[in-house]
Chains A and B, each alone.
Chain A
Amino acid sequence: MDKKQILLAEDEFTARKLLEFQLKRLNIVFDSVETGADALEYFRQGSYKLVLLDEYMPGLNGSEVAREIRKIDPTVPLLAMTSDPEAIPRLKEAGFREVFVKPLHGKVHLDIILGYLS
């Protein structure tokens, strides 16, 4: 199975569409899902270099998905997105290597993602 570069989980559609647009422009191959449960399902069935998870999603949130992914693959880099800056310490403790605070204006998040992929 081909190893895709990124698994993206984001329930809010404008954020998801914008990220998809940006990733496509960078020629990054990705899967994009809307829920934590779907993210976990995709991760179990696929292979990814990087997982980008929104924290606040219906059903399983980003931290819960990350915990399950860690059981499957302890090494894959996990990146979180949140609109709550106060959640950063908690998300770091949960094992996310990077935490992006939404809205993702600018290109810093893309540079960081590219850094992990390279």
Chain B
Amino acid sequence: MIILYSMIMIQLPELVGKIQNDLSAVGIQPTILHAYTDPAKRCTIHDPDRIAKVLTIFLLQLESALQGSSCALQWDYREGTLSATLQGRFPPERETVLTRTRVSLQCLGGTLTVEQEGCQLTLPLPTIPPPSSYTPKNPLEAFLEPASLKPPKNLTGRASEGTPSIFDPTVLQQACPDEEFSQQLLEDFLSHCKTLLLELEHLITHGEDLVKIHRIAHSIKGGGMNVGAFRLAEVARWMEQQAKAGRTEGLQEALNCLKDEELLLESAYREYYGQEANPPGRG
């Protein structure tokens, strides 16, 4: 069996390298495709919970695709290491430790391609609901409808059935028909959003100045609405309301969620405008 990881959205170059090495060590020669490896476009996440969440979904997809195999993921907080174990059909009765490494992630989402005996199966990732034994810690659960917890098959598109859209490009298209301007505005928003998230992190960690938190959440909400990032805006709106009401409960979870949503937005944006296209103003 050949496993192809089509890294369209998930960027795990270090992890994928380890997987390649580990599988090679047990006699499997995987072909691993990196479709998006520009280091300038990568960002590093050091939050183990988020890494674990993303990889758990990814491995559950892999598990399902391989039918009968099982995956396990462990994070060692003390060592800062991630251990993923895949057990199953290749090779039979043999446990393969995929990796044990520090990882950096680009974002959620992606495509998993499995090729077996010349028959290629491509799965949008992630689309399979997690098993009952898996309890996601997605903080969106606290304030979004359960339906929206399932990552969408397509990251871009209009909101539907009451579920906020990660990125609706038609919003900016209607506001300004100049695609270069829209692209630059989105780039600027993403950059600004990262700065605001860092400020939020500092505020929440150091005393929770609710006035400032309210203002930043308001800014993210407004910007998100303007660029069509409705899920990001929805989480920010929740945080804004909490801060306005003087409540500190859930702010950290909301912040984690905002970070996830920002990465999802960036992925959806890059998907929409083309991964290899250089952002305007960057050559």
Residues of chain A touching chain B, judged by Cβ–Cβ distance below 8 Å, are 11-15, 17-18, 21-22, 25, 56, 58, 83, 102-106
Contacts and interface: CB of A to CB of B under 8 A. Distances in A.
B175 A18 contact: yes
Nearest to A57: B215
B174 A14 contact: no
B152 to A, nearest CB: 21
B176 A12 contact: no
Contacts of B225: 83, 102-103
Given A13-B188, A105-B174, 16 more contacts: A12-B218, A12-B222, A14-B185, A14-B189, A14-B226, A14-B227, A15-B223, A15-B226, A18-B185, A18-B226, A21-B175, A21-B178, A25-B176, A83-B221, A83-B225, A103-B226
Nearest to A10: B222
Nearest to A17: B185
Contacts of A21: 175-176, 178, 181
B176 A13 contact: no
A14 B184 CA distance: 11
B175 A83 contact: no
> Which of B174, B215, B221, B222: most chain A Cβ within 10 A?
B222
Contacts of A105: 171, 174-175
A22 B188 CA distance: 18
**Which secondary structure characterizes the binding site on chain B?**
helix
Given A13-B188, A13-B192, A58-B215, A18 B176 contact: yes
B275 interface: no
A22 B181 CA distance: 11
> Which of B175, B176, B185, B225: most chain A Cβ within 10 A?
B175
A100 to B, nearest CB: 13
A97 to B, nearest CB: 23
Given A58-B215, A105-B171, A14 B178 contact: no
Interface residues of B, number: 19
Contacts of B219: 11-12
Nearest to B219: A12
For the complex of A and B, list the 5 residue pairs with the smallest distance between their C-beta atoms, beginning with the closest.
A103-B225, A14-B226, A14-B223, A12-B222, A21-B176
A102 B222 CA distance: 8
Interface in B109-151: none
A103 B229 CA distance: 12
29 contacts: A11-B219, A12-B226, A13-B188, A13-B192, A13-B223, A14-B188, A14-B189, A14-B222, A14-B226, A17-B188, A18-B175, A18-B176, A18-B185, A18-B226, A21-B176, A25-B176, A56-B218, A58-B215, A83-B218, A83-B221, A83-B222, A102-B226, A103-B171, A103-B222, A103-B225, A103-B226, A105-B171, A105-B174, A106-B174
Contact of A22 (B176, B222, B223): B176
Interface in B176-216: 176, 178, 181, 185, 188-189, 192, 215
Interface string B151-178: 0000000000000000000010011101
A82 to B, nearest CB: 10
Given A21-B181, A58-B215, A15 B222 contact: yes
A83 B189 CA distance: 18
Contacts of B221: 83
Contacts of A15: 222-223, 226
A66 to B, nearest CB: 20
A21 B222 CA distance: 17
Nearest to B221: A83
Contacts of B174: 105-106
